[in-house]
Amino acid sequence: MSVLKHRLVTGSLVLAGVVGMVAVPSASAVTSNGIVRATIGSAITIDSVTPATLTLNITPVSGGAQSTDTVAVAVSTNSGNGYDLSVNTNAATNTMVFGANSIAASGNITWGSAAALANNTWGFAIPSGTSGLIAASGFDASYTATTNLTTNASKFMAMPTNASPLLVRSVTSGPVSASSTPFWYSAKADTTKPNGNYDATVVYTAVARP
């Protein structure tokens, strides 16, 4: 009996060991995704206005002498839709001023009305072939730097005042780096104007297109 009992006990011990090794099922695993997003806004700069001060040297004659030269405005933006460029003076008037004296803005005051300058006036132009130039500008295809011409048929228009900025160019693709717009300026004066520096301040405004 003792032997049998021993064997039974031994069998119980073995059985207990087997039961203790049975694996317990684990909990079910689930997954889910999340997005991490960096939203980059549009940025725009006017890199340069060259030259910062444009001087039109005029030696007047009785019938008027006209000088013309250019300013390059360079814009950069990371916007994939490009930028809009507007222009105006920094004041409620658009005359060039020297003390109590002035040179009037061109009488061609609306987009598309560009024409040759009258005596004792000034104006601006952008070559009509400039990409993104607002349509029907009336400007010439090209301009040349000149000094003291007594006859000049090149077409210019008045610079608008700060009350009515004028959209002149819309570049509709980007990003762009140092995208340059050529602004041509011209003034015509006769001997009735006292000698001196006649100034007007022009404001260039670039806006990234959304």
pLDDT at 27: 76
Question: pLDDT tier at 101 (50, 70, 90 boundaries)?
Answer: very high
CATH of domain 44-208: 2.60.40
Give yes or no for a contact between 154 and 194, defined as CB atoms under 8 angstroms apart: no
Q: What is the mean pLDDT of residues 9-29?
A: 55
Give yes or no for a contact between 149 and 66, defined as CB atoms under 8 angstroms apart: yes
Closest alpha carbon to 168 in 203, 143, 199, 144: 203
Which residues does residue 180 pair with via DSSP β-bridges, in sequence order?
74
pLDDT in tens, 151-160: 999 999 999 9
pLDDT at 23: 60
pLDDT at 3: 32
Q: What is the mean pLDDT of residues 192-203?
A: 98
Quick one: how many helices (H) and strands (E) in the chain? 1, 10
At residue 94, does pLDDT exceed 60? yes
Domain coordinates in residue numbering, the chain: 44-208
Quote the longest CA-to-CA distance of the chain: 147
Tokens of 35: 């997005």
Residue type present at position 76: S
pLDDT at 21: 57
CA distance 161 to 32: 59
Give yes or no for a contact between 90 and 79, defined as CB atoms under 8 angstroms apart: no
Closest alpha carbon to 78 in 173, 169, 168: 173
Tokens of 94: 């658009």
pLDDT in tens, 163-184: 999 999 999 999 999 999 999 9
pLDDT at 18: 47
Give yes or no for a contact between 68 and 56, defined as CB atoms under 8 angstroms apart: yes
Mean pLDDT of the chain: 91
At residue 44, does pLDDT exceed 80? yes
Q: What is the mean pLDDT of residues 37-55?
A: 98
pLDDT at 8: 34
**For the whole model, what pTM was predicted?**
0.86
CA distance 183 to 191: 27
CA distance 178 to 194: 39
Closest alpha carbon to 125 in 179, 208, 187: 187
At residue 42, does pLDDT exceed 90? yes
pLDDT at 26: 66
At residue 68, does pLDDT exceed 90? yes
Closest alpha carbon to 150 in 66, 62, 59: 66
